[in-house]
Each structure stands twice: as C-alpha cells, then as structure tokens.
Structure 1
Amino acid sequence: MRLLLVNPNTTASMTSAIAASAASVARPATVVEALNPPFGPASIENDEDERRSVPGLLTQIEAAADRPADSRPDAYVIACFGDPGLEEARRMVSQPVLGIAQAAMHAASLAAGTFSVVTSMSATVPRAWELAKTYTPAACLGVYACDIPVLRIDSDPTTIEPIAQLCAQALAADGSRSIVLGCAAMARFAEPLRARLGVPVIDGVVAATLLAEALAPLAG
C-alpha cells in the first residue's frame, strides 16, 4: 500500500518529521510519502492560516490522484490538527482521507475512553473544541494551549518540558485517561510523554497512519 501524508504548511523540516513518525509505525510493505505545498503559510496557528493552507493542500492531493495507477496513493492523511480541507479532499478522491485530529480523537476515545487535548497556540483552542464536539462529543474533557509557536516546537526539543507540565496539569484538572497532542510538530514527543505520564499519549500522525492501513482495503 502507498500512503501519502500532506503537511499543509510549507516547512520542509516538519514534513520530514511527519514522514519519520508515520514510517516508524507503518507496516514494512507500506510505502510512506510526505509532501508539503510550495505555497501557503509556514505554520498553521489560527483560522486564517488554516484557510490559506487549503488551496496548496488540495493541489497536492489532486496531483497525487492524477498519477499513474502504480504510484497513486491508496490513502491520504492531512497532517494538521485543524483537519483543514478534509471534506473537500474527500470529495476529490475515492480513497480514504484522514485528518490527524479525527484519527487521534477517535483513537484516544477507543483506547482510553476520555482525553484532554494539548495544543500549540491559544488561537487554535476553539477549533480543537469544535472538532472534538463533532468527532467525539462525550470523550474530550478539556483543551489546553502551551502557547509555544509551532515552528519552535518543531525546532526546539526542550519544548517537551513545558508541554509535559501542561499535559500533567490537564490530566489532573480533567480526570481524563489520555492525552491527544494537538499539533503535528509534537509527534516526536508522544513516546517520551507516554513514559513520563503513564497514560496513552496519542499523536495524530501515528493514529492516522495505523487507521489508514486498516481502512484502505475497505475502499476496494
């Protein structure tokens, strides 16, 4: 199977990290590919950034869908926690298209029952709540922002410390049973946070990769 992850922002280092996260859990026979558009926002930290990211995202999906059959993706992942352009992308292709927020929230709900979301900037909190109420209305107990810019999370590994503290505070405040990381740039922190916190810590890139592999055969 061929899996295409599209990072809707233009930061290549994030795209590489997304590819690495997906490849770390994908089956040996799965071909993992990650792309980002050449135009659009460098990071996605508010509703306007999401809106500006959609044209480039859809262009990448359209181009991939037009490939010869032997290189065409069997499933697509939109690797941004706001799930921008998800419904538009699903109308464009017959293969499964997963957003990392939807994948992570459903995975956390199934694995642990309840979860709290820890995201990047405060401006993204309303969107995270909107998606949670749509996808898993009974499972999300709180949404918290660390207010660390996405590009800093991507480039600075020490940001795991304040993120870990916020995760612990969220678990204590909400009584939730797991954490959903609300930013693709946090993907590499999932395993160390899981070890530190002692609860499932769900990264949407990993969740979407595993779900895409399961769902692709159902699409025929």
Structure 2
Amino acid sequence: MMKKILVINPNSNPAVTEGFSDSIEALRLTSGPEIECITLEEGPWGIETQEHADSVVIPLRDLMLARTDADAFVIACYSDPGIEVCRKAVPEPVFGIQESGVFAALQRGERFGVIALGPKSIERHLPYIRHLGVESRLAAELPLNLSVEESESEGAFPRILQVARELSEKAGADTLILGCAGMARHRQKLENAIGLPVTDPTQAAVCQALGTVLLA
C-alpha cells in the first residue's frame, strides 16, 4: 500500500485547502507517498484569533486518531494549533507549518520577516517564536490587516508586496515567510517581485513530511 501524508486545513474554507493543495503539486511523486489535503469541517471559516485556534485542537486530534491510514500529518495553519496535543495522541509524525516554515526560512537568510494576517495573528505567533528559540533571528512580523479569505484572493497581492517591502527595507529581513496557509498561491509571484527568498510554510512542512516518510 502506498504511504500517505495527510495535510489538514483547520479552517472550514475549502478555497484555502485548494490553494495550498495546488502549491504542493510538484511534491506529488508518481511513486508516492500520496499527499491528501482535507478541510476540517468543524473549524471556523478562518483562524484569526486565539479562540479560533483553541476551538480546533480537539477536532484535529480526533481526526488524526481516526485516520489510521496516514503515515504523517501536517497542520496547515500558521499558528500550529494543537500540535503538542496531536503529537502526544498519535504515533505518526506531526508537522506544523509555522515551525517548519521558520526553520526552512532560517536556511535561506540571517533574519526572517513574517507577513501576518493581522495584529491578533501576531499575538499568537510571537510566543511560539520565543518557544522555538529563534526570536533573535526575527526581523519583524507585520500585519496585512486582511482576513484569511481576503489574503487568499489575487487582489491581496499589492498589499502583500507592500508589507514585504516594509519588512525588507525598514526591518532588514533578508528572507520572508507567508504567515498563513491561505497565501500559498502568492509565493512565487512575491519572490519574483521582491527579489528575496520567500517561504510558503505549507510547502516547507510537506517537504519535511515527505522526507520523513520516504526515509522511514
């Protein structure tokens, strides 16, 4: 049986799932493992507050426990909600896109900048950055002041580029992270426009999961 990586969108917006699924198409190898992207139907339409993040922890855990066909899991939300709970609940490896995205970005620059949805997102992200021990490498994290749904649209790109330039020119970031799974479709266009490495954290997490599963 072909091995499987299950990538879970903890919000209930299928357009976000479709967007990051498209962004990892190149990682779908004909020889496997299979990469399945699903939407958590119980989740909020967008995870934009701590309450939203807390509300998906138990549903995520229960979904992973039920999916005994998966060989690895990816939580496709930039605040990695429930990652410790899920890691304790299932024997398979669980990857969070914030953790994976940060460490991937650090391999491409000295100081990383994060493009966040809004101030409440930053409030969730910064304690986790400190937990990961990489606060000294963070140039800044700046908000788009957009919702998850708005950030996913093509019309969000000018604002994303504006914040990217602020991170580069004012904060000194030499590598950037898209701070929401919904921004996946903007990565290549932003990298071409800004001239700096741009990490899509879902791509980073799936790459790590892929290597883990292939070498198991």
TM-score by length of 2: 0.93
Q: For the Cα contact (< 8 Å) 1:6–1:60, is it kept in 2?
A: no
Matched, 1:201 2:198: yes
Report if the CA contact (8 A) 1:160-1:189 is conserved.
Answer: yes
Deviation string 1:25-80 (CA, Å, 9 cap, x unpaired) is 34332311011222131110010110112222222211112xxxxxx112110000
Quick check: 1:95–1:216 contact (8 Å CA) kept in 2?
no
1:148 corresponding residue in structure 2 = 146
User: Structure 1 stretch 108-117 or stretch 95-104: which is displaced more?
Assistant: 108-117
Matching residue within 56, 61, 64 for 2:59: 56
The structure in which a higher percent of residues are helix is 1
Residue aligning to 1:36: 39
Asked if the contact 2:43/2:55 (under 8 Å) is kept, the reply is yes
1:172 maps to 169
User: Does structure 1 conserve the Cα–Cα contact (< 8 Å) formed by 2:115 and 2:141?
Assistant: yes
Identity, % of aligned positions = 26
> Do the aligned residues in 1 keep the contact of 2:105 with 2:199 (CA within 8 Å)?
yes
Q: RMSD of aligned C-alpha atoms?
A: 1.4
Map Cα deviations across residues 86-143 of structure 1 (whole Å, 9 max, x no partner).
0011112222110000000000011222200011121111211112222223321111
Inter-partner Cα distance in structure 2 for 1:207 and 1:117: 15
User: Could you tell me how far 1:217 is from its partner in structure 2?
Assistant: 4.6
Q: 2:211 aligns with which of 210, 214, 220?
A: 214
The AA in structure 1 aligned to 2:62 is T
Partner of 1:94: 91
Give the AA of the match of 1:62. L
Quick check: 1:192 aligned with 2:194? Answer: no
Decide which of 15, 19, 27 is 1:13's aligned counterpart: 15
Structure 1 unaligned regions, length at least 5: 66-71
CA contact (8 A) 2:57 2:85 kept: no
Corresponding residue to 1:45 among 39, 43, 48: 48
SS of residue in 2 equivalent to 1:144? strand
Once the two structures are overlaid, the 10-residue window that deviates more, 37-46 or 195-204, is 37-46
Task: Work out the CA distance in 1 between the residues paired with 2:173 and 2:150.
Answer: 27
Residue 68 of structure 1 corresponds to none
Q: TM-score, structure 1 length as denominator?
A: 0.91
Q: CA deviation at 1:166?
A: 0.5
Name the count of aligned residue pairs. 212
User: Within the alignment, does 1:160 sit opposite 2:157 as a pair?
Assistant: yes
- Say if 1:38 and 1:56, in contact at 8 Å, map to a contact too: no
Instruction: Give the whole-Å Cα distance in 1 for the aligned partners of 2:40 and 2:74.
Output: 14
In 1, Cα distance between equivalents of 2:62 and 2:22: 23
Distance across 1 between alignment mates of 2:74 and 2:130: 21
